[in-house]
Structure 1
Amino acid sequence: MHSRSTSRTIQREDDMVMKTPYLLAVLFIGSVTLPASGQTKPAFTSIFNGKDLTDWDGKPGCWEVRDGEIWCTGTSEEKNWLVWRKEQPANFVLSLEFRWDKGNSGVQVRSEDLGKWQIYGYQVEVATQEKMGLWHHSLLDGKHPKKKQRHLMATAGQQVTLAPDGNKTVKQVTAANQIKQHFKDHEWNTMEIIARGDTLIQKINGVVFSSVTDRDQEMSRKHGFIALQDHGKGCVVAYRNLQLKKFADTLSTKPTEFVATHLVATGADYYTTGPQQARAPDGKFKQGTKVQVIKDSGSYCAVVSESGVRAYLSTASLNPISASLNPISPSLKPSSP
């Protein structure tokens, strides 16, 4: 894949999110989830067996299985989560059905386990029609300076981008009421959560409700637990048909040819190798420096220059980064092409 082609694809995704909810469902999936040539198309696998809570861990007495459904019993006065312990997926589509009856619940993804059935991270709200479409950060410390930016990340009809420094840009691309009408209280609804690279998308009954592209260097997470929330105080909600489709960290393992690019090394995003994370090398590639794409994670590409410098890159037009935020390290400065 050529980086320039990747740039056009990413830019198109950013521009198109939620302008036309039904059309987006086709365009977005087609642009980021189809496998590269020669790869096997990922398939959905069930993460709930319909019989018991094998692979799930919840506070005793708060969750139970009834007729092939996971029910929050409404007996707890305090928040707690039912955690899927088998994996901590990174790039995936989570598909499920839910029925909200009372209180407040949510679906957690890419989240951190704090112990005692407490989970910290991205959450999709499951509540009344008025509250549906909300992305927020669960259990964010009220004293944290970024609380206002992240506690309520996106509501119905919004496309939200969080910059590397945490600054938030909000686009209300579809009227909230127009989006919310597709969700029905006290009935079974379908939900899909798409997590790919920096972007999280929420779909309900086939309609994109909201999206978040999170490039915050301090707070974003690229993998973690899936969990269901019991908000306490009489919450009654049910889930069924929970299925997961995972994507590889790379879209293609075949090296691409060296091509001229207009990419900028962020030098600040995380470069992931297996379960370990390490900073990408600081350094700003000159315009026209030839690089080879060795890993494509969606909004960023891992590349290596002809001089051997490796870094994560983003397109300057998509995510411009100033020299002051990304100083050039003399030892890593690539040679002229």
Structure 2
Amino acid sequence: MNLRTQSVLALIFIMGLNACKEKKENKIAQEVVQTETDQDGFIPIFDGKSLDGWEGDPKYWRVENGNLVGEVTPSTKLKNNTFIIWKGDQPDDFELKLEFRIAEAGNSGINYRSEKLENIPFALRGYQADIDGKVRYTGQNYEEKKRTTLAYRGEKAIISSQDNPDTPGSLRANVAKNAWQSREVVASLGDSDELKSKIKSEDWNEVHLIIKGNTLQHYVNGILMSEVIDEDTVNRTMKGHLGVQVHVGPPMKVEYRNIRLKDL
């Protein structure tokens, strides 16, 4: 057996080990899901086998190794952000747990209490638990196609109503530097860079959203990253669609698994 053949066999062996490791991790994760469903009242809303119960563009969404995969390639670049949307309900008060893994170039997010846009297929407008591969925004509360940033990572913020809600263009006028201006940071949850260090790059992280009344809490790996108290009765929403996103930009890949929901 020559050296080249030995190298090829070694590479095949390593790839096989990695595939076995991935399958083992997913099996363990699925067992954890079942345990939490039994004990804590969380119900899986993604079966790990198909896109049943979800609607999105199959050009960007698929199931692979038990994971919900969103991918943009050089030949499928986006003109608009696109989502895969859960068809089961429009939750109001709930808890959501899931795990994500995202490429360094990736940009994604979990939308909730959102509305569908009529003029853009598979687009959502509403609250988003932001996720990105460079971990610049992961953990913050960003309102997609609406009030923009409501709370950066490390902030507890109260959102008040805008002054002139009936004035045309007033929503856009109240946004500056991609952040909503009628917000008050009332407490620190920690330094943003220190919190960033708790988020794993290009590895699995767990998100836990606790959404109750007008209080919106985003946890990553068990740590509270942002909290919004939304007192803006003009612009806030109290129920709506749930979905996950792939964002306009360079080619990217994001994976989600163990998506579990509990009504409150």
TM-score computed with the length of structure 2 as normaliser: 0.72
Corresponding residue for residue 180 of structure 1: 196
More helix by share: 2
Distance verdict in 2 for CA 1:235–1:139, change over 3 Å: farther
User: What is the rounded CA distance, in whole Å, between the counterparts of 2:127 and 2:137 in structure 1?
Assistant: 16
Q: Does 1:131 align with 2:133?
A: no
Corresponding residue for residue 219 of structure 1: 235
Q: CA deviation at 1:172?
A: 4.9
Corresponding residue for residue 241 of structure 1: 258
Q: How does 1:196-207 map to 2 (within 5 A)?
A: 196-207=212-223
User: What's the CA shift string for 1:115-174, capped at 9, x where partnerless?
Assistant: 41010000111102222222111012xxxxxxxxx3111111100111244731113512
* Kept after mapping to 2: 8 A contact 1:105/1:235: no
Corresponding residue for residue 179 of structure 2: none
* Kept after mapping to 2: 8 A contact 1:165/1:217: no
Residue type matched to 2:67 in 1?
E
User: What's the CA shift string for 1:271-324, capped at 9, x where partnerless?
Assistant: xxxxxxxxxxxxxxxxxxxxxxxxxxxxxxxxxxxxxxxxxxxxxxxxxxxxxx
User: What is the rounded CA distance, in whole Å, between the counterparts of 1:165 and 1:130 in structure 2?
Assistant: 27
Corresponding residue for residue 86 of structure 2: 84
CA RMSD of aligned residues (A): 1.5
Q: What stretches of structure 1 move > 3 A for 4+ residues in a row?
A: none
User: What's the CA shift string for 1:226-270, capped at 9, x where partnerless?
Assistant: 1000103312110000000101xxxxxxxxxxxxxxxxxxxxxxx
Corresponding residue for residue 162 of structure 1: 159
Corresponding residue for residue 65 of structure 1: 63
* Kept after mapping to 2: 8 A contact 1:133/1:154: no
User: What is the rounded CA distance, in whole Å, between the counterparts of 1:69 and 1:171 in structure 2?
Assistant: 38
Q: Secondary structure of 1:51's partner?
A: coil
User: What's the CA shift string for 1:5-36, capped at 9, x where partnerless?
Assistant: xxxxxxxxxxxxxxxxxxxxxxxxxxxxxxxx
Corresponding residue for residue 110 of structure 1: 113
* Kept after mapping to 2: 8 A contact 1:199/1:213: yes
Q: Select 1:97's aligned residue among 95, 99, 123.
A: 99
User: What is the rounded CA distance, in whole Å, between the counterparts of 1:214 and 1:171 in structure 2?
Assistant: 13
* Kept after mapping to 2: 8 A contact 1:201/1:210: yes
User: What is the rounded CA distance, in whole Å, between the counterparts of 1:92 and 1:112 in structure 2?
Assistant: 17
Corresponding residue for residue 19 of structure 2: none
User: What is the rounded CA distance, in whole Å, between the counterparts of 1:90 and 1:235 in structure 2?
Assistant: 31
Q: Secondary structure of 1:177's partner?
A: helix
| Structure of higher CA gyration radius | 1
Query: Could you tell me the percent identity over the aligned residues?
Result: 31
Corresponding residue for residue 27 of structure 2: none
Corresponding residue for residue 224 of structure 2: 208
User: What is the rounded CA distance, in whole Å, between the counterparts of 2:143 and 2:54 in structure 1?
Assistant: 22
Equivalent pairs counted in the alignment come to 198
Q: Secondary structure of 1:73's partner?
A: strand
Q: CA deviation at 1:42?
A: 6.4
Where structure 1 has 5 or more consecutive residues not aligned to the other structure, the ranges are 1-40, 141-149, 248-337
* Kept after mapping to 2: 8 A contact 1:129/1:181: no
User: What is the rounded CA distance, in whole Å, between the counterparts of 1:215 and 1:77 in structure 2?
Assistant: 37
Corresponding residue for residue 193 of structure 1: 209
Relative contact order: is structure 1 or structure 2 higher (C-alpha 8 Å, sep ≥ 6)?
2
User: What is the rounded CA distance, in whole Å, between the counterparts of 2:152 and 2:183 in structure 1?
Assistant: 13
Q: CA deviation at 1:178?
A: 1.7
TM-score computed with the length of structure 1 as normaliser: 0.57
Residue type matched to 2:183 in 1?
K
Q: Secondary structure of 1:131's partner?
A: coil
* Kept after mapping to 2: 8 A contact 1:94/1:192: yes
User: What is the rounded CA distance, in whole Å, between the counterparts of 2:218 and 2:61 in structure 1?
Assistant: 24
